[in-house]
Amino acid sequence: MAGRLEGYRILILETREEAQFSRLLQEQGAHVLQCPMFTIHDAPDPAPVEAWIRLFIDKPFDDLVLMTGEGLRRMMKVARRIGVDQDFIAAIAKAKRYARGPKPVRALREIGLEADVQTETPTSEGVAAMLAQENLKGRRVGLQLYPDKDHGKLIAAITSLGATVEPVLPYIYDGQAADTNIVAAIDEMAQRRVDAIALTSSGQVRRLIDVARAHNCEDQLRAGLKQTPVASVGPVVSDELKANGLHTDIYPANDSFFMKPLISAMATALNKTSPRLQNAAPSR
């Protein structure tokens, strides 16, 4: 597949795995326009995160639910800072580990551990459905949360199974810092200077629309997306696009909802239908 995206300008909106996605695209010759959707910061008050980690070490939870890979990495950063990283890893190893999709799986492998169970659908609803198949009565469940999501229903679902839930939120998003870049990306699409936009989370769809509305350029966004091939990594993203009156043009084959199959699908689709914009003036 090497070189199959040579000359194409691909807009990506990743944050946590932007560097990896960009590298994979560049390996195929693409010119990547990077537009992070958020700036990620550690939790402004580290005390609750530190207390959660120490509680986990002193009395390891029976189960650990990881919603994001970023969350585990941020907690490991705190554990190293307070000098308990090896004890924390040992405590995690004692718990049954649940992962919301492949990203927490990769983060666990970075500390030498594997997930015991991975969701089929990487959503809060998917996590709730996964846990509903388990016997959690009387168990203590550590739940790593992520920002900009109301996790009340998930916590209630776990509690209804008879478990005690110990939640932690190890990082926050700063969206304002990225608004200028997002508006510039919308203009790039409207000016036909993007060959395709690659979307890898439903939150990216919502964020695009929210920023466009806040900056009075929603019509420009919708016009740009109408004329720009939209690549979706999987059904969650495609459903979010559809719910907002938008479309999916490119989709991974064989239900392989990962970066490499998405890139392969983009290369196939673009080489069939789209002229390269390699002579367009680059903009970042």
**Cα dihedral across residues 266, 271, 272, 276: positive or negative:** positive
Token digits for 239?
């459903």
By the 10 Å C-beta count (0-12 exposed, 13-18 middle, 19+ buried), 74 is classed as buried
What confidence score (pLDDT) does residue 106 get? 92
**Cα dihedral across residues 118, 110, 66, 209: positive or negative:** negative
Nearest to 229 by CA among 204, 265, 258: 265
Give the rounded percent of residues in the chain with a pLDDT score beyond 90: 64
Q: Mean of the pLDDT values across residues 78-94?
A: 98
- What is the pTM for the complete model shown? 0.67
CATH number of 46-172: 3.40.50.10090
CATH architecture assigned to 9-39+175-273 = 3-Layer(aba) Sandwich (3.40)
Q: C-alpha 165: how far from its chain's center?
A: 23
CA separation for the pair 236, 35 (Å, rounded): 21
Q: CA geometry: angle at 73 spanning 72 and 77, to 5°?
A: 115
Whether the Cβ atoms of residue 101 and residue 64 lie closer than 8 Å to each other: no
**Fold match between 9-39+175-273 and 46-172?**
yes
CA separation for the pair 98, 113 (Å, rounded): 12
In sequence order, the 6+-apart residues with CB closer than 8 A to the CB of 260 are 24
pLDDT digits (tens, 9 = 90+) for 217-227: 999 999 999 99
Q: Mean of the pLDDT values across residues 264-269?
A: 90
What confidence score (pLDDT) does residue 281 get? 38
CA separation for the pair 12, 34 (Å, rounded): 5
What confidence score (pLDDT) does residue 54 get? 98
CA separation for the pair 173, 281 (Å, rounded): 31
CA separation for the pair 233, 205 (Å, rounded): 12
Task: Kindly list the domain boundaries of the chain, sorted by start residue.
Answer: 9-39+175-273, 46-172
Residue type, 215: H
Distances in Å between the Cα of 268 and the Cα atoms of 13, 234, 280 are 21, 17, 22
